Every structure is written in C-alpha cells, then in structure tokens.
Amino acid sequence: MGKLDGKTAWITGAGTGIGLAGAQALAEAGATVVMSGRRAEVLEKEAAAIKKSGGRAETLSLDVSDANAVQQAAEAIAERHGRIDILVNSAGTNTRNRFWDDQSFEGWDRVIRINLDGTFYCTKAVLGFMKEQKDGLVINISSWAGIYNSSVVGPAYNGSKHAVVSITETLNLEECKNGIRACVICPGEVDTPIMEQRPVPPPPEIREKMLKDEDLGRTIRWVAEQPPHMCVNQIIVSPVLNRFYIGAGD
C-alpha cells in the first residue's frame, strides 16, 4: 500500500525531464498518473514502462497553451476517475534566441504561453473539481530563475517563472478555505533536455554536477505525501555546486 493509493494525479510535460520523473515517483507511491504532453509516442512508451513496473499510468496528448483543450482534458480525467487529487504543472520551455537583442515576438509568446498560461489554464481547469472535493494539491514547477533573476535564461523565462511563483501563492490565499493547497518548486540547474536549448549547452562534465530528474521526482512525491492539513508553500533546491553562486551559471 502506497501513501497515494486511490489518488489521481495529472502531470503535464510528462514525456521527459522533471514531469516524467514526477509521474514515475507518484506512480511508485500508488497514485494513478495521467501523463500529458505533446508527443503521444513518447508518453505511451514511458507510461508502458510505469505499468510494467506495477504502476498505474494513462496518457493524454495535450498542448497546455490551448485553453479549450486543457478544459476538455480535465473534464475527461474527472469523468474517468471521479476526481482529480493532484496536479503537477511541469510543462515548460525556453528558446535558444532568448535575450533582448535576439528575442522574437514568436519566441516570447511561446515561452509565456506554455510556462505561464499553461500553468494557469490547467490549474483553473481542476479548481472546480478540487473545490467540490474540499481537497486538492497543485504542484507548480518554477525555477531558480523564478526567485532570482538569471542572465542565462532571458526575460521571457525569468518573467514567466517569477509569475508562476506569484500565482501559486494567490492560489493558497484564495483557496485554502476550500482545502486546496499549492506548492511551487524552484530548482537550480537540472540536467534535463531543456539544457540543449541554451545558446551554448553546458558540457557533460558540468551537467554531471547538476540536479537530476529523479531528485525532483522525489521532491514532488514528498510534497504529495504530506497530510492534507499541511501546505508546503515553496521549495528552493539547487546543486551543491551552484553555478549561479559563483557566476559560472551566467
């Protein structure tokens, strides 16, 4: 028996990186995980691996920047399972051309639409179900750049991740009376595929010292396993060799 037996968890951006690690960890804890993302074949492969290991996993192709599609996805999950207990907003992106002198309007819009709008759309879509249950947990994946501005990631990523921190706390402010709690996780450098989108991707010897997907998966699981009367508002976590401290991350 896992602590999350009987719980339904929806994880966005679940095909790779932190989202996938979160789905794996929540499934290990007993939750039924609904994995959404834009690449159906990747989701199916990873869901099959979870099921092979004894977990319960489903997939749902979804672009979180499409508000109507998000609402339909939430309704489908609730109809199938009767409830939505946990939402992990992990879908995120950045562009290679990300600085003021090379950031396009299209690149800006894409980052904001996925990182910020997608988080809002998915959260808004589950709120009604969670309020009826008088229980629910939203875990938002922000970034070190959501707390401390970074010269590495550019204005769109900095701005969107700061906003995710803010809207997480407004959720606690407004919905704590309905038994809903929200946590924002703000990791430093994590060795995920998004590193390939940097103008100059870090070399392997640097990436070896970064946080790993599974570190964040364990963090997500820990938050989800806390009792419903306890709200973990914010977690900031970084590699021991935090390159932002010594300037190398910039």
Residues identified as active-site = 157
User: Cβ(36)–Cβ(12) under 8 Å?
Assistant: yes
Across the chain, where does the E strand assignment appear?
Answer: 8-11, 32-37, 56-61, 86-89, 136-141, 180-187, 234-237
Two tokens, residue 198: 């940097």
Q: Tokens in use for 160?
A: 């969107």
CA 72 remoteness from chain centre: 19
- d(Cα 222, Cα 86) in Å, to the nearest integer? 13
Question: Pick from 145, 195, 180, 189: which is nearest to 165 by CA?
Answer: 145
d(CA 206, CA 195): 11
SS3 191: coil
Residue partners of 110: CB distance under 8 A and separation at least 6 = 65, 93, 95
Q: How far apart are CA 171 and CA 85, in angstroms?
A: 15
* Whole-number Å distance between alpha carbons of 8 and 193: 27
DSSP state of 180: E
Rg (CA), the chain: 17
